[in-house]
Every structure is written in structure tokens, then in C-alpha cells.
Structure 1
Amino acid sequence: MICRASLAAIAVLAGLALGGLPASAQTVDTSTAATESKTPRNVDIEADTMEILDEQKKAIFKGNVKAKRGDVTLNAELLTVTYEEQPDPKNKDEKKTEVTLLDAEGSVVIVTAKQTVTGKTAHMDVKANKLWVKGGAKVVQGKTVMNGEQLFVDLKTNKSEMTGGRVKGSFVPGQ
């Protein structure tokens, strides 16, 4: 089952919005990211260890995790991929694996072509296309910086929100 679960983890990341992170620090515009997340691309994952919990439908990557999809990289200490199996519409004798949730923990760093997003944890509800970065969330684009306890991004509605205590932004025109 390791091959199927490994493929499930990779499929999750490929279909996931690793490419679906905020595109503009000023407005945290997600329209480009939402389109990008639908484009099939290879995903490369490196970690010190990988564990498959087949009964729980989870793949866990631990230690110096680096997931890369296109120009987007996710680094963390732990990445848990939760998936489900459904009948494959193309072949009813086979099952298709779909990623439902992604959870990254420990010094999370998400780097896109234009931005760097950091926090203690990141949670992605793949089906709902929603992302939360918590624990000192920070978005940096050039010299523009936004800080808050939590960043929420809804890739379906292009809504983003920085919350938690005082939210601080330093906006530099042209960035």
C-alpha cells in the first residue's frame, strides 16, 4: 500500500493549492492562485521519513519536509496528508485517491514567485479550497509586509483575511 499512499500524497499536493497562495500582499489577491491550483503539475517531496497510516488514510512526512510544485515550495517539519478513496469513474474495478486535507506544522514557509508566507502551522481544506496559516502569520512581497496571528484565504471567493490581535502592514507602492 505504500506506493498507492505515496501517490495519494503526491496527487494531493499536485491538486492542492500549493500554487494557490496569495499573489499580492497588498490585497492578498488569489485569482491567479485559484487558476494555478487547477493546472496539473509534478510535485516533488523530500523528508527525513514518511509513514503511511492506511486505515486512517493519512501519509505523514517528517523532518525537513520540502514539497515543491512548479514555482511554489512548502517547507515544514511535519506534513500530514489526509486522503480518501473513491471509485474511479474510468475504471470501476479501481479506486481513485483524493486528498482532502493538508496540515503542515513547525516553522512553515511557503515561497511563491512573488511572496513568502510564514507561520507556525498551515491547514488546507482541499475540497473547500481554503487555507489557514496560523501562529504569527506573515506575508512578505518585496518590501511590503503584513503580520497577524492568522491568515485565512478562500481561493473560491478570492477572499483573504489577516486576524488575531493587532494586524500590522507596511505597504510599499509598486510592490
Structure 2
Amino acid sequence: MKAFGPLILVGALSLAACDQKTGSTTVTTNAATGEVTESRSGEGSPAANLQPGKWEIRTQVSDLKMANMPKGVSANPPAQTNSVCVTPEQAAKGPAELLKGAGSDCTINSSNFAGGKVESDLTCKMPGDMTMKSKTTGTFTATSFTTDQQMEMTGAHPMSQKIHIEGRRIGDCDTAQ
């Protein structure tokens, strides 16, 4: 479902960002040239990295509100559980690298991923003259994380939702991946 596309970005950002320092990062994509630039400001103490391996991620959307909500779409859809393989290279990358591949102009207004706690504030310019804002709080260890997010999109298709995400490392990646 298209409405949940930003959910994937926000959830993945939570997972990827756990090795970042406190500060601000802006990732901008020039629509005309495709050029991606990144700038950072702020300092902070390094936080623990998530361990590479196979991760199970459970996502629960609640309080979904959107203009002209399609029939059959619930404000509280069922939780979704997926497993993903996080390679050592992916675990070492920060949220800026993730955002570069998302095709959006994003600014991480603030982020703090230290001491087992996560707090972040993200704004993205989305295709179609839309803006997504997300605030996240939660906790993490090297092998698990829990986040609660409030996401709001403004523009042509306004919507808002709350997102609860739980992730845990469940082992090594399958060798066939």
C-alpha cells in the first residue's frame, strides 16, 4: 500500500541510525541532476552499533488518519512482521546512507542514539510536493530495539499515524541471501 511507503523509510532509519552521534544531518537530492549532498553539524558521543545478522522486525501502525481514506483501510491495521538480513557493511552505515537511497530530500533535525536510548526528529521532502515529519523515541541494545514514532505527512495527500516498531536479532543471515 502506497500510504505505508514512508513507514519503511522511518523504520529502517531507526535501525540504521543506532551508530550515529548526536547532531544534525541533511541529505539533499537534486531532482534535476540526481546529485546527492550531505552536511553534518553537532557533536556527540558514539553509540553502540547494532549487530549484523538476521533481524525480525514487527511494525504496528495505529491511529492512521488520511484524507479520503480508502474503504477497507483500518485506522489500526494488523501488525506486520518481517525478517531482514543486516550485513556488516549495512550495520556500519549511518542514516545518511540510507536516506541517499530513498530518493527524498531529508533532514535529520536532531538525533541522539546513546546510552541505550533513541530520540530523533526527521523531515523529508517527498515526491508530489509532500513533506513527512517524524519524531521517534525508544530504546536499543546491540541485539534489539523498540521505537515509538509519530509521523505526519502534509501536502497533496495528508496523513498521520503512530508507529510502534520492535526489532530483535534472531541469528545469522541465511547463506542463500
Same fold (TM over 0.5): no
Q: Which of the pair is proportionally richer in strand?
A: 1
TM-score class, shorter: 0.3 to 0.5
TM-score normalised by the chain length of structure 2: 0.35
Greater relative contact order structure (CA < 8 Å, 6+ sep)? 2
